[in-house]
Amino acid sequence: MDAAQLKIEAARVALTHVSDGMKLGIGTGSTAEAFVRLLAERVAGGLSVIGVPTSERTAALCRELGVPLSTLEETPELDLTIDGADEIDPELSLIKGGGGALLREKIVAAASERMIVIADRSKVVDVLGKFPLPIEVNRFGLRATEIAIRVGAAELGLSGPLTLRMTGDQPFVTDNGHFILDASFGRIPDTRALSNVLHAIPGVVEHGLFIGLASAAVIASDGGAEIIHAVVR
């Protein structure tokens, strides 16, 4: 199977966990898009669900394909979120935000009873950090925030380039109007410690470490799809 087929396979298996009447968080990215396309087919066939999208991009696709949408304001408690990831470790901690939607993705996942991550096997790692960690930051005080991140990371023995994400010659702006710094720290042995350090910096809005949020992961490979369950949650 090629990469696109693996994404569809992971999405197909995740869809078997969706049932009539569910309130769904709907992720962002190419794997989540594969899920939306399959979900739309089921909706056309009579499945009744309501979706809360994690980005404007996902919202537009859902509207185009006829998946009924709500907002987190209208529907603040969700049954299940299905989303992709950039990296997944054995405890189902994740790096997310490659598509820039990490803040809404984390809020939606936290508002959901369960989160199922869908990915191909290339996303599974022993230790998170090969994929640069996206950090959503307020535009105000960007340089000061960058310095505070460097200092905090160094206290944990982490260092590496912090790159302002760009779209062409302009900084990439998230759906929430913020910038993203991609932190190439390499392996992150203590994800909780880094999460705490980043959350203590006022200019940091959110980061892409998702710890204790995923209940299960559907990992697709040529051998088929494997479901990994989290120990907690």
Ligand X SMILES: O=C(CO)[C@H](O)[C@H](O)COP(=O)(O)O
Nearest approach in angstroms of CB 174 to ligand X is: 9
Nearest approach in angstroms of CB 146 to ligand X is: 21
Cβ-based nearer residue to ligand X, 148 or 209: 209
Among 13, 52, 82, 85, binds ligand X (CB under 6 A): 85
Q: Of 26-34, 106-114, 182-190, 225-233, which part binds ligand X (CB under 6 A)?
A: 26-34
87 binds ligand X (CB under 6 A): no
User: C-alpha angle with apex 23: 22 to 27, nearest 5 degrees?
Assistant: 115
Comparing C-alpha atoms, which of 231, 193, 224, 189 is closest to residue 13?
224
Nearest approach in angstroms of CB 97 to ligand X is: 5
| # binding residues, ligand X (CB under 6 A) | 18
Contacts of 9 (CB under 8 A, 6+ apart): 1, 220, 224, 225
Q: Of 22-30, 61-69, 138-146, 152-160, which part binds ligand X (CB under 6 A)?
A: 22-30
112 binds ligand X (CB under 6 A): no
86 binds ligand X (CB under 6 A): yes
102 binds ligand X (CB under 6 A): yes
Among 25, 51, 53, 99, binds ligand X (CB under 6 A): 99
> Phi and psi dihedrals of 35, rounded to 5?
-65, -45
146 binds ligand X (CB under 6 A): no
DSSP collapsed to 3 states, the chain: CCHHHHHHHHHHHHHCCCCCCCEEEECCCHHHHHHHHHHHHHHHCCCCCEEEECCHHHHHHHHHHCCCECCCCCCCCEEEEEECCCEECCCCCEECCCCCCHHHHHHHHHCEEEEEEEEEHHHECCCCCCCCEEEEECCCCHHHHHHHHHHHHHHCCCCCCEEECEECCEECCCCCCCEEEEECCCCCCCHHHHHHHHHCCCCEEEECEECCCCCEEEEEECCEEEEEECCCC
97 binds ligand X (CB under 6 A): yes
Q: Of 37-45, 59-67, 95-103, 178-186, which part binds ligand X (CB under 6 A)?
A: 95-103
Q: Is 85 annotated as a binding residue?
A: yes
84 binds ligand X (CB under 6 A): yes
Q: Which of 105, 136, 146, 206 is catalytic?
A: 105
Say whether 105 is catalytic: yes
Residues marked as binding for substrate?
Answer: 28-31, 83-86, 96-99, 123
Write out the catalytic residue numbers: 105
Q: Could you list the residues that contact ligand X (CB under 6 A)?
A: 27-32, 83-86, 96-102, 105
